[in-house]
Amino acid sequence: MTVVKTIIAARDAVHRARRSGNKVGLVPTMGAFHAGHLSLVDEARRRCDHVAVTIFVNPTQFVPGEDFEAYPRTLETDLRACEQAGADLVFAPSLEEMYRPNAMTKVSVAGLTKGLCGAARPGHFDGVTTVVAKLFNILPADMAFFGEKDYQQLVVIRRMVTDLDIPIEIVACPTVREPDGLAMSSRNAYLSPPQRAQAVVLSAALFDAGDRIGAGQRDAKELVQRIRDRIESAGPCAIDYVEIVDPETLEPVRSITAPVRICLAVRIGECRLIDNVGADPDASK
């Protein structure tokens, strides 16, 4: 496995791999690896000949008051995990390498970023799309792998790639969960033991709602209220949102007549957790 820290070296490595006839898979991350990250590397390894991983804690996607300075940075551990998972290349740039001091350009996707996490974190998705566009230019891979846990991010990046004609296939990978159902996240480490036990209610409420849709429930407002009530009854928290949305447009739905995505963001203590599940009203037919 090769580790590079400069844009020139990363770009050259990917170009060499592609000139050799290899299909290149890219896994963009902010590090602090858990099994969810490694599942992306595994899928890239399965579908591609050459796997490149990026590790960069991107400051532009943190909004004021968030945990950029405190975000876990475990580069050496992450590099060992990448090597064990079979990555061929890791790009781990510095902040100065990724952002010039006089940079004036950002990439913004309208519409899809106005709701859900975009409403609570203004500017967040501009930071995401800008850094991902830069990574796609630096490491021109054939495929890029993203987890469904960050579902809005996945939809936004797909739209960016379509709108800007970026020649890369976006591959969605299922959310990886703890044995009790909690979606894996680097931020789970911030939870105290009682908070960690409480957080299980998020996935439980989502799966219950999905089951109810499969059983014939069609009123989105009623389901949203049921999810909120269940989460609030589990312990102290602050709900940013619970919404049932169209999986492509991310617009809220009223009557569930087609596949939907049930999404939530909840703060337990100082930790903001997100999760989502898909549901299809016709699945039982």
Residue that is written with structure tokens 């936004």 in the block:
156
Q: Which of 15, 34, 37, 124 is catalytic?
A: 37
Strand 260-268 vs strand 271-279: parallel, antiparallel, or unpaired? antiparallel
The answer to whether 139 touches 91, Cβ cutoff 8 Å, is yes
User: What are the beta bridge partners of residue 271?
Assistant: 268
Q: What's the one-letter identity of residue 1?
A: M
User: What are the beta bridge partners of residue 245?
Assistant: 252, 261
Phi then psi for residue 76, to 5 deg, are -60, -40
The answer to whether 48 touches 26, Cβ cutoff 8 Å, is no
Geometric angle at alpha carbon 16, from 10 and 22, rounded to 5°: 110
Return d(Cα 34, Cα 239) in angstroms, integer: 25
37 included as an active-site residue: yes
Structure tokens at 121: 């974190």
- Kindly list the catalytic residues: 37
